[in-house]
Amino acid sequence: MPPLFKRSLILIGALLAIVAFSIQANADTIKPTINLDHPVIIADSQSAVYLLVQFDIPKQVVDTTEPRPDLNLGMVIDRSGSMSDRGKMSYAIRAANKMVDQLQPTDHLSVVEYDDRISVLWPSTPVESPSMIKAKIEGLFPRGSTNLTGGMMRGVEEVMSAIDREKINRVILLSDGLANTGVTDPREIKRLVRESKQNGVTITTMGLGLDYNEDLMQMIAENAGGNYYFIENPDQMNAIFQNELGMLFATIAKDVRLYFKPSDVVKKVDVYGYLAKIEENRADIEMEDLFTGEKRSMVIRLEIMPEGEGKFDVGEFGLSYLDVDENEKKSYTSAIKVESTIDPEKVKEATNEDVVIEATLFEAEEYHNQQVRLYEEGDIKSAQSNIAGYVDELRVKNDLLGSVVIDKKIEALEMESDRMDWAEQSVSNKSYYLKQNKAQYYRAQKGKRGMYIMQEGDSDYMVQRLKKALTDKGFYNGEINEDFTPDLTDAIKEFQKSENLTVDGIAGPATLSALGLY
């Protein structure tokens, strides 16, 4: 790897932002912004500059009577013995059958069931007999051990048998246990799922309960271009299946690929979130499909050494993707420029605090994740001490920025020591703690922070969980959907009053914890 680049697991929502910037499926609805935290820097001195790219793809209500992208879908369902716990299999059957009900005859569907044995419950065919498919699914019952890779790849084979570049080709893998038979080497699994993506089939993973390997399931989703979900309780399964299906229905761009090519003045690049393939002076990034309703942000850290004063190029973004509506390959490039000066006041005046805030959040997410990993390795004292010191630094920084979101991130970090102590009380506590934290980081590094902060204007399946929890406690009586509306703000304020919490109408860590959602 050239010294110019440092490969990192932090970038995420950032790169997607640039992607959406060039999507022209509906040019009037894509209004991206690209900004630097310091568009002006000191000449003849190395500076760290953060590039923020944001986009907002307006949400469109999916009308099932109107044409939408056809699906080529493979459901891969775990039927190992552990699926008998807490009625997991029954919930899985109901969620899968509801998904079948929403497909149309032009969609292809296959269903694979697996334990230590693997069989095709329903081969990939057009969904012309949904009742027959559901009858097959109804016959599932828990059985043996877990050949996760074998089941997953059999699902990929079924989708490949009906592969169509004009369709959305996706495997949905559900598992509640460890991959304990068949191929279990993570390196080989990674190779297989990357090959699947290269062949046009993406994979979404859904981990159910506390006994599966979250690192493996996240790795599969990340390398296979799909999504990852931590399903804490079986009764959440249907909502998560529906969230995934809704995203597939709303897909507007697939085969999304991005590159960043730095200029000679850039000495180092940190790409937050996405895995990048580095060859010479170029980073190539593959991203998951894009859909309507997405709000994403992306941060890239650049170390720049300008020579003399003036404006200069720092790099080029390039993008290609398949427009789903037009079934047409499109591409986009954009140059980024920075100005250098010897006047410190000019640098200060040009600072963009919105970008500073977003960059601070991305770095805070990464630091938080590092401490959770340190705890997982057994060094709880160092993790707790590091977080306490970092909170002090973050609080000083936010005294100048005044960001509500950073305040909520500080709140989350302040709760972490007690959460780690709680996790130490039992094996199940520790498993839940690690899965919940890693899922939070997985989403946050994509610019989706709904697992620790939600506020008016957000739209996310986590909002649906929030509404249900407030409904159960008698504080909300509106529609339970994914939109954070003013009436939800009012309900949160009333709940916060009842719990002696800060009354701000924002669902932050303390509020979510009081609702059992954090």
CATH of the domain at 462: 1.10.101.10
CA distances, 480 to each of 64, 237, 461, 467, 476 (Å) = 20, 16, 10, 6, 9
Query: Rounded distance, CA 15 to CA 318, Å?
Result: 11
pLDDT of residue 233: 86
pLDDT one-digit tens code per residue, 440-457: 999 998 888 999 999 998
Does residue 474 form part of some domain?
yes
Residue 430 counted as domain residue: yes
Residue ending a domain, choose from 316, 343, 370: 343
Mean pLDDT, to the nearest integer, of 492-515?
97
DSSP string, 490-511: HHHHHHHHHTT---SS-B-HHH
* Shared-domain flag, residues 213 and 243: yes
Residue 256 lies in a domain: no
Is residue 243 a part of any domain in this protein?
A: yes
The pLDDT, as a whole number, for residue 29 is: 34
CATH number reported for the structural domain that contains residue 304 in this entry: 2.60.40
Task: Count the Cβ atoms, other than its own, within 10 Å of residue 36.
Answer: 21
Segment 494-502 mean pLDDT: 97
* % residues pLDDT > 70 (the chain): 92
Examine the pLDDT at 75 and tell me if it is beyond 80: yes
pLDDT digits (tens, 9 = 90+) for 83-92: 998 889 999 9
Average pLDDT over residues 51-74: 74
Mean pLDDT to the nearest integer, 354-375 = 95
Q: How far apart are CA 211 and CA 289, in angstroms?
A: 29
pLDDT tens by residue, 115-163: 999 999 999 999 999 999 999 999 999 988 889 999 999 999 999 999 9
Q: Are 375 and 307 within one domain?
A: no
| Amino acid 61: pLDDT | 59
- Among 4-18, 44-58, 376-390, 501-515, which is the least confidently predicted range? 4-18
Average pLDDT over the chain reads: 88
pLDDT at 22: 35
Q: What pLDDT, on the 0 to 100 scale, is given for residue 241? A: 92
CA distances from 310 to 58, 157, 302, 347 (A): 38, 56, 18, 13
* Residue 429 shares a structural domain with residue 491: no
Q: What is d(CA 496, CA 304) in angstroms, rounded to the nearest whole number? A: 46
Tens of pLDDT along 99-111? 999 999 999 999 9
Q: Do residues 245 and 149 share a domain?
A: yes
- Are 431 and 338 in a shared domain? no
* Separation CA 278–CA 259 (nearest Å): 10
The number of beta carbons lying within 10 Å of the beta carbon of residue 462 is 24
By residue count, the chain amounts to 518
Identify the DSSP state of 166. T
Say how far apart CA 244 and CA 224 lie, in whole Å: 15
Q: What is residue 33's predicted lDDT score, i.e. its pLDDT?
A: 74
CA 498 to chain CA mean position, Å: 33
The answer to whether position 336 is within a domain reads yes
* Co-location of 297 and 435 in the same domain: no
pLDDT in tens, 10-33: 333 333 333 333 333 333 334 567
Residue 254 maps to a domain: no
pLDDT in tens, 279-336: 778 878 787 888 888 777 778 889 999 989 999 999 988 778 888 888 888 888 889 9
241-255 pLDDT tens trace: 999 998 899 888 888
Q: Do the beta carbons of residue 152 and residue 220 sit within 8 Å?
A: yes
Residues 472 and 425 in one domain: no
Residue 14 within any structural domain of the chain: yes
Residue entry with tokens 């005294």: 399
Which of 420, 451, 482 is where one domain is finished? 451
* Claim to verify: residue 169 and residue 284 sit in the same structural domain: no
Q: Are residues 113 and 212 in the same domain?
A: yes
**Residue 240 three-state SS:** helix
Q: Are residues 369 and 462 in the same domain?
A: no
What is the pairing mode between strands 108-114 and 118-126?
A: antiparallel
Decide: residue 282, CB within 10 A, 0-12 exposed, 13-18 middle, 19+ buried.
Answer: middle
CA atoms of 22 and 321, how far apart (whole Å): 9
Q: Are residues 111 and 235 in the same domain?
A: yes
CATH of the domain at 233: 3.40.50.410
Cα-based distances in Å from 408 to 14, 119, 312, 405, 504: 21, 47, 37, 5, 11
pLDDT of residue 258: 79
Which of 68-82, 232-246, 292-306, 400-414 bottoms out in mean pLDDT, i.e. has the lowest? 292-306
- In which residue are the tokens 């002006």 written? 40
Q: Which pLDDT score, from 0 to 100, does residue 32 have?
A: 63
- pLDDT tens, position by position, 451-477: 999 999 898 889 999 999 999 999 999
User: Structural domain of residue 478, as residue ranges?
Assistant: 454-518
Cβ(177)–Cβ(80) below 8 Å: yes
Domain boundary at 451, 477, 501, which? Answer: 451
Q: Identify whether residues 422 and 492 lie together within a single domain.
A: no
Average pLDDT of span 485-501? 97
Number of structural domains (the chain) is 4
User: Is 513 a residue whose pLDDT tops 80?
Assistant: yes
Residue 119 within a domain: yes
* Per-residue pLDDT, 25: 35
